[in-house]
Structure 1
Amino acid sequence: MLLSALLFSAMQVVINITGNRVPLMEQVFFRNIVSLILCFVIIRRHGLSLFGERKYQPLLFMRSSFGLLGLVSLFYAASNATQADVTILSKLSPFLITLFAFFFLKEQINKIQVPALLIAFGGAYLVANPAFHSDLFPLFMAILCAVFASVSYTLLAYFKDKVDALTVIMHFSTFCALVSLPFFIINYKPPSLTDFLLLVLMGIFGGFGQIALTYAYRLAPAAEVSIYNYSGILFSMLLGYLVLGETVSTNSLAGGALVILASLLTYRYSRQPSV
């Protein structure tokens, strides 16, 4: 999960760099066509199923659909807001994952997660409302990304021991590439050599980040492993500062601290008696 958070933070930086020059759906297409090729090569080499059994297709399409919505909202937010703000708000998803995992996967939930959830939303409020360090609509899209991602990641946990991780990614990448292809063709804007290389790099970061994330949710309960995704806040702040020259507002720092505190509380008491 730590590796996934770093790779996705790096992907966000590339999205921001190319956001004003490359159409959104063209970015989405490149992000997924690269991971599609990566997964296809690995799957064929190991003799795995490309798209999974028929009985799992409805949920696989549901996972891919919510994953695409999360991807589009993340790409828009990352292109129009500071990386730290986008990451903090999108990292609300682990708390939603905890709730979804409780209701749909029957994973246990702890009493500490209720105040932790309130603390996390307090941190999100500090980032999005008082500071207005970024425009409001991109921040709203970052919150939507958290909602869509929470459904998608909950389904990743469901597929554990049912569908191979690479098959899930292959299904998702193919679905996203096919859906974005018409928009890619209609609004195609030939990228410069530099932008093309950045788009390929974005696809590599996103592809390997998705592989790391998918395996993380297969190796531990969703409510626990998602906590480590908060390291992306620190990675995004650091990369945004070093690569993009972004500064982090006091409110964003305070909000990020509250979100991290909530995650630490959840992790610390994750093995306490549950309700």
Structure 2
Amino acid sequence: MTNKQKGIICILISAFSFALMNLFVQLAGDINPIQKSFFRNLIAFLFAAAILFREHDFSFQKKNLKYLILRSALGTIGILCNYYALGHLLLSDASMLGKLSPFVVLICSYIFLKEKMNGFQILSIIVAFIGSLFIIRPGFSLTEMLPALMGLVGAIAAGSAYTTVRYLGLRGERGPFIVFFFSAFSCIAVLPYIILNFEPMTIKQLGTLLLAGVAASGGQFGVTYAYKFAPARDISIYDYTQVIFAAVLGFVVFGELPDSLSLIGYIIICGISLLMYMYNMGYLKIRKDAKTP
């Protein structure tokens, strides 16, 4: 098995794990999103701590502290918004809005990391945003739009957080410590709210949230190893299978079926993602305008 094949398998495992995480979050029922995020991050914290403990190394580079805090703050906002969206949208709709984050990474990398964007990448961002409008369906009722807008804000925050992770990697910070710091930060950030506003849970709800945390950890480690085996340009398109997994799980468990407008949005976003993948791999050539002699 080649490294590329290993990377594809790992990213498929990651996509399925994150779809399961979203499913368990919905199955937990009407619990505050902040409380849901706490238990999700607690499990990720324990997994990351176990890895660092096995390596006997909890050290980090002090020069990276402010960027670790920034990554953690953005990641916490992203999770809270995503969990709110999951509580009010179809499983597949919430998952699809989350898949806008790679396009946010392009924008943030251009602004903050000075990584160049070409015309095709700019066009892909515009098209992806148009696709998201079919899911968000902007109108005059903020109450109806709010869950989808929260999903969009979550994707923006997540994309910004991923850009910070990339920057931390360029500055030599270790991946397990980034996960450990983020999980600890997120738990501590919401702990005062949890203490003051804790909502009693049944054993079933608690177990479901713990399963969401286990699935989230599987997704994080799956994507980490995926990009260890192969570059993003080779395998990132397979991450969009999460939407397919989410749609199947949503139908089997909840009987959910996305409407025609959502399906149009899925096709637009997945289609432009596929074209970007083909472009990055060199399968798609964009002809440049010839200069006039």
TM-score above 0.5, yes or no: yes
* Alpha-carbon displacement from aligned partner over 1:130-168 (angstroms, at most 9, x marks no partner): 799x93110000000111011101112222251111100
Alignment match, 1:102: 110
Superposition pairs for residues 95-174 of structure 1, below 5 Å? 95-129=103-137, 135-160=144-169, 162-174=172-184
* Distance of 1:76 and 1:224 partners within structure 2: 32
Q: Give the deviation of 1:102 after TM superposition.
A: 2.8
* Distance of 1:260 and 1:169 partners within structure 2: 28
Give the counterpart of 1:54 among 62, 76, 96.
Answer: 62
State the structure with more CA Rg: 2
| Residues 226/184 of structure 1: CA separation in 2 closer, same or farther (3 Å cut) | farther
Structure 1, unmatched stretches of 5+, are none
Superposition pairs for residues 55-70 of structure 1, below 5 Å? 55-70=63-78
Are the aligned partners of 1:160 and 1:218 in contact in 2 as well (CA < 8 Å)?
A: no
* Distance of 2:108 and 2:235 partners within structure 1: 14
Are the aligned partners of 2:86 and 2:94 in contact in 1 as well (CA < 8 Å)?
A: yes
Alignment match, 1:262: 272
Are the aligned partners of 1:130 and 1:251 in contact in 2 as well (CA < 8 Å)?
A: no
* Distance of 1:84 and 1:7 partners within structure 2: 14
Q: Give the deviation of 1:87 after TM superposition.
A: 1.5
Alignment match, 1:10: 20
Are the aligned partners of 1:157 and 1:218 in contact in 2 as well (CA < 8 Å)?
A: no
**Count of paired positions:** 272
Identity of aligned residues (%): 30
SS of residue matched to 1:247: coil
Are the aligned partners of 1:154 and 1:222 in contact in 2 as well (CA < 8 Å)?
A: no
Alignment match, 1:199: 209
* Distance of 2:84 and 2:113 partners within structure 1: 31
* Distance of 2:77 and 2:226 partners within structure 1: 21
Alignment match, 1:81: 89
Give the counterpart of 1:238 among 239, 248, 269.
Answer: 248
Q: Give the deviation of 1:206 after TM superposition.
A: 1.3
Are the aligned partners of 1:31 and 1:206 in contact in 2 as well (CA < 8 Å)?
A: yes
* TM-score normalised by structure 1 residue count: 0.90
Are the aligned partners of 1:66 and 1:148 in contact in 2 as well (CA < 8 Å)?
A: yes
Are the aligned partners of 1:169 and 1:211 in contact in 2 as well (CA < 8 Å)?
A: no
Q: Give the deviation of 1:55 after TM superposition.
A: 0.9
Are the aligned partners of 1:97 and 1:222 in contact in 2 as well (CA < 8 Å)?
A: no
Of residues 186-195 and 67-76 in structure 1, the stretch that sits farther from structure 2 once superposed is: 186-195
Q: Give the deviation of 1:226 after TM superposition.
A: 4.7
* Alpha-carbon displacement from aligned partner over 1:103-130 (angstroms, at most 9, x marks no partner): 3334443332222222212211112217
| Residues 199/12 of structure 1: CA separation in 2 closer, same or farther (3 Å cut) | same
